[in-house]
Amino acid sequence: MASDFDALQPDVILSALEAAGYHPTGEYSQLNSYENRVFDLKLEVTAHAPEPTDRVIAKFYRPGRWSREALRDEQEFLFDLQREGIPAVAPLPLKNGETLLSHAGYLMALFPRVLGRNPQEFLGDELKQVGRTLARIHNIGSRKVAKNRRWLTTQTFGWDALDRLEHWVYPELWRSYEEGAIAILDHLDDNLDESSFIRIHGDCHKGNLLHTGKEFFFVDFDDFCNGPAIQDFWMLLSGTLSDDLANDEQEQICLGYEELREIPDDWHLFEPLRGLRVISYGAWIAQRWNDPFFRRIFPDFNTYNYWLEEVEVLNRIASKL
């Protein structure tokens, strides 16, 4: 089995940093990332570097996933946020005068190293703080669309994904899986209003949220897209909207959000969007299954029990539409 990153050996990583105008010491460590390869590298601080710093985060994008234009849309959004004083980790300048470098078949960007903690749970008024930050992000996101990024539609994230999954779901479970998925996608087709789509984070869960000790900020905009604002809410909440904890959390995040932006009126899409995520996530793993890394991370993916649980989730959501 071959990985898209088989050629990304230490000499390639270090030579990419040098081509970008920075001087790595040779000390680096790999960070957790499923889709791309991300490294924390120590640098020699020199006056000739595009940005004087002793450490950077290097992100090597999976070949063929994003075009240069799509990555520039993401970076432009990060700079938009930064210019407005919104906590965001925007890319560093490179020797070529840009913020993207093509090296040895990979597109790469460098980012400043920012320390923070992922919240395991929200304490006090922290969810209100998150709500305010999210509202500020959406205010910027609503100013225009990202022309080269995906739209969070059922076609892009659902129907095509469902077609791919027919060969992965266990045959005896496929009919039930398909029925639940179709009910969810049909519901979204009838209720998603693309005219209301804005630029959103797209993968807005606790793992992509950091707290520096002073404030919250979102990281990893790799799934940045055009979509409904509500998409950036539901993954931050615990459980479904029928759970007491999720209801309390919804109230808190909305209290912060509505200080700066009107609360979305499509909370009824919370569960269908969760179902869309289940479908698209499964298709994403299937698409990457030839990568040995994915087989290690998702060892149960091709088991009967995995797909039985997916069927139960989809049909539970479908039954409440």
| Measured distance CA(226)–CA(52) in Å, rounded | 34
The strand pair at 225-227 and 106-112 is best described as: unpaired
What positions carry a catalytic annotation? 203, 220
CB atoms within 10 A of CB 289: 15
Q: Where are the alpha helices (DSSP H) in the chain?
A: 10-19, 68-83, 126-141, 154, 160-165, 171-191, 231-234, 244-257, 270-287, 292-297, 304-319
Please answer whether residues 290 and 151 qualify as being in contact, where contact means their C-beta atoms are separated by less than 8 angstroms.
no
- CA triplet 225, 230, 234: central angle to 5 degrees? 105
* Residue 113 token pair: 């190293």
For residue 229, which of 137, 127, 126, 132 has the smallest C-alpha distance? 137
